[in-house]
Structure 1
Amino acid sequence: MQILPSLFQLGYLPIICAQRSLFSSPSPKAQGSTKLLRLDDCSLLTPTFDDLASALSSNQTLTELNLNNNELGDSGVEKLCKGLMNSSCKLEKLWLQNCNPELGTCCRESPFCDRAKPSLTDPHTGDNRLGTSGAKVLCEGLLDPNCQLQKLHLDYCELSARNAEDLSSVLHTKTSLIELNLSNNKLGDAAVKQLCGGLLDSNCKMQSLQLENCRITAGSCGDLGTVLSTKPSLRELCIGENKIGDAGAALLCQGVLNPNCKVEKLWLWECDFSAASCKDLANVIRTKESLKEMSLIGNDLKDEGMEHLCEGLKDPKAAIQSLWLRECGLTKACCKSVASVLSKNNSLKELQIGGNNLQDEGVAQICEGLMDPSCTLESIWLGNSELTSACCDKLATIIATSQCLTELEVSNNELKDKGVRKLCEAVRNPNCRLQQLILYDIFWSTKIDDELKALEESKPGFKAIF
């Protein structure tokens, strides 16, 4: 590994790919212009980091370094920080996910907390054992007025409710911070309440907040709703895998409906919603023109809830572009309403509705909507929907004739050779605009393998993914 410094200093390595040869061939054009270095999953050893630190001190063009999934440990991180703290280092993005340092110790050396390293604005330190004490040290560094951190990723870092006060202080004072990921930490409602206090500060310019699987309930949703209604900078809220229930949904929707709310993305998967929540969610869909993406995956909405959502989607003011409804307890009974949406809604571009018991009959009805000349859908996911080859005639017609559909996913269905062959024949149609056909976990013969490969070769711009 003694080759590291010289290669860095000479400006080789345009991109280093994970799990491949560490170094690409030198190119005269690449010399002095290295921007991205990927060493993720490379089984790096501690002695390597002396060389890496030296290289970072010499290369002024490197702006992004990925070291994910290497056993750095404390000593590796500390050596790395020596290079990062050199005034010649201009690194902006650093990926240290799952590197197993005891960050409670090495956070004291953390370069993105130090006043001498304002260039580093986007460190990814998730999936490390930061712990309560490590997070406290980290927050103390973040409060330095010279720290210009923009994104803070602390997911899977073993944080607790005791970290909320320090994190809230950061939110009160750090105007540069626009993205915060605290997902998969045991925070709870009391901690979220404290965080919301920081988010409401006029100094806070937060744009993206991720609190998925943080043990919060409906008790947090009033505070989160207040943040949504008073913080127009907040464009993305992800609180999936929290049992907030229908009561929580009502409070959140109340905040979203406030004219001050400009949220564009709501990730609400596995939030214990029922059909009752869909009335409020449908009202949001028909009213909030800023909203572009919503995930409701894993909520037991059933056909009744889907009917409510469809009413919202058919409203002329509905502006949502991407809607994820996988595993929501839907059946073929709601598919006629879905088809009606596809024929009337001109904003929806992506619909993920797989993982539901739609069956061939339901998909046939959805295809009627896809065939409507007014339909503008570009991507539909129908995987794991209890389909057989019987629905493939309809799907083939869509593939061959639709001028807008570019992605179709039908994974984990019993299509077999007969069904897949029909889809392939449709792709060969010169009018076909499909770019991706996703076919994971479908059993077919080796002949179909050959046909799919030949199809890719004969159809530029088309990709079969299986």
Structure 2
Amino acid sequence: MPAIDFYQDAVDKALQSENGHLDLFLHFLLGLSLPSNQTICRGLLKWTGGSSKIDTETVQVNKKTIDYIKEKIRENASSEKCINLFPCLNEMNDPTLVQEIQSYLSSGNVSGAKLSPAHWSALAFVLLTSAEELGVFDLKQFSGSDEALLRLLPVVKASKTALLNKCSLSVTSCGALASALCSSSSSLIKLDLSDNDLQDSGVELLSTGLDNPLCKLETLRLSVCGVTEEACASLASALRSNHSHLRELDLSYNNPGVSGVKLLSAVLEDPVCQLEILKLWHCAITEEGFASLASAVKSTSSRMWLLDLNGNDPGESGVKLFSALLKGPQCRLAKLM
């Protein structure tokens, strides 16, 4: 088998590997292909022929291999696996893609730049291998769009806090995020999706991720996301799951309706529910909703210590209910807003 076919086949097999167990081997193999390393290993490998011929052929093969790797990065730009090809380019002394994206970063023009799919992958690689710990990732620093989120999803997964608010995200992003939440490699604890047009269908997709045993999410912010009673049913189901770690939920500036508030209230009384903070600013909650919430918070099973109901219409009866509740000895609420 010609050398170029051998290296290209190795790249293909690494990309096809489901668990990435061939990545390190590929880096090692491509490192050995360099003329400098082949000179060191020539005695062991028992090369034949003149050294100049070997070096010339090796340089040509390396160039073709580098071009092939870049081609695969362009073809697989939406796949997380292509990120693992960037160390191969570094191994072969060709960091051009990474250098190009680093120049964008240093100039501060990433958010306005027209990045190619390969450059998005390079950006993900640079962010993942940066010296700084991925504590908080703010998508708005780069670009607010579904495409940007999908390209940088590996970075989102590696971060503890993902700020994705006001990023023009849609249902498409919710499906990808649900998959990320179900990943064993995800580090996400806080997720802010406020001010995106997710609608019920998007939140329902997201709820499937919350219900997964691998999901570690503790804080979810969904204010101004077009949530109605339909999505509240999905969220309530996820919160009732034994697997949910969610402690804080922000549904402000949505329209859960009476039935949505009742669904959320009922789940607060479930001893399995871990929710401690619920924010429902300006959700058009009336006396009936206040009565349901008061009953839920009064339950001995409730873990709620902060309930934010600003901008709603409790009516006289709602005010009386919560006034009496706060005076009760069993009330755990530390803050009622």
**Normalization by structure 2: what TM-score?**
0.63
How far 1:417 moved relative to its partner? Answer: 2.5
Q: Does structure 2 conserve the Cα–Cα contact (< 8 Å) formed by 1:243 and 1:272?
A: no
How far 1:298 moved relative to its partner? Answer: 0.3
1:404 is the counterpart of 2:303:
yes
The residue that corresponds to 1:323 in the other structure is 220
1:16-62 Cα offsets, whole Å, 9 max, x none, are xxxxxxxxxxxxxxxxxxxxxxxxxxxxxxxxxxxxxxxxxxxxxxx
Instruction: Select the structure with the greater relative contact order (CA < 8 A; seq sep ≥ 6).
Output: 2
The residue that corresponds to 1:332 in the other structure is 229
Q: Does structure 2 conserve the Cα–Cα contact (< 8 Å) formed by 1:286 and 1:318?
A: yes
Q: Which runs of 5+ in 2 are unaligned?
A: 1-98
Distance in 2 between residues matched to 1:363 and 1:192, nearest whole Å: 47
1:298-331 Cα offsets, whole Å, 9 max, x none, are 0100000001100000001110111111001111
* Residue identity opposite 1:249 in structure 2: L
Distance in 2 between residues matched to 1:227 and 1:404, nearest whole Å: 41
How far 1:216 moved relative to its partner? Answer: 4.3
Equivalences, count: 232
How far 1:346 moved relative to its partner? Answer: 3.6
* Residue identity opposite 2:134 in structure 1: L
The residue that corresponds to 1:5 in the other structure is none
1:394 is the counterpart of 2:297:
no
The residue that corresponds to 2:9 in the other structure is none
The residue that corresponds to 2:208 in the other structure is 311
The residue that corresponds to 1:292 in the other structure is 189
1:230 is the counterpart of 2:139:
no
Q: Does structure 2 conserve the Cα–Cα contact (< 8 Å) formed by 1:244 and 1:271?
A: yes
Q: 1:240 to 1:256 in 2, by over 3 A?
A: closer
Say which SS state the counterpart of residue 237 (structure 1) adopts: strand
How far 1:226 moved relative to its partner? Answer: 2.1
Q: Does structure 2 conserve the Cα–Cα contact (< 8 Å) formed by 1:196 and 1:227?
A: no
How far 1:221 moved relative to its partner? Answer: 4.9
How far 1:386 moved relative to its partner? Answer: 1.5
1:250 is the counterpart of 2:150:
yes
Q: Which runs of 5+ in 1 are unaligned?
A: 1-189, 199-210, 439-466
1:70-111 Cα offsets, whole Å, 9 max, x none, are xxxxxxxxxxxxxxxxxxxxxxxxxxxxxxxxxxxxxxxxxx
* Residue identity opposite 2:195 in structure 1: G
1:194 is the counterpart of 2:194:
no
How far 1:256 moved relative to its partner? Answer: 3.8
1:169-204 Cα offsets, whole Å, 9 max, x none, are xxxxxxxxxxxxxxxxxxxxx997536479xxxxxx
Superposition pairs for residues 57-456 of structure 1, below 5 Å?
Answer: 193-194=102-103, 196=105, 215-216=111-112, 219=115, 221-231=120-130, 233-240=133-140, 244-257=144-157, 261=158, 263-287=159-183, 288-344=185-241, 345-401=243-299, 402-438=301-337
Distance in 2 between residues matched to 1:391 and 1:255, nearest whole Å: 39
Distance in 2 between residues matched to 1:396 and 1:241, nearest whole Å: 41
Identical residues among aligned pairs (%): 28
354-363 vs 305-314, which moves further: 354-363
Say which SS state the counterpart of residue 339 (structure 1) adopts: helix
Q: Larger Rg: 1 or 2?
A: 2
Aligned-residue RMSD, C-alpha: 2.8
Distance in 2 between residues matched to 1:333 and 1:270, nearest whole Å: 23
1:200-255 Cα offsets, whole Å, 9 max, x none, are xxxxxxxxxxx9x9854784854542234334722211234875211111111144
Distance in 1 between residues matched to 2:167 and 2:155, nearest whole Å: 17
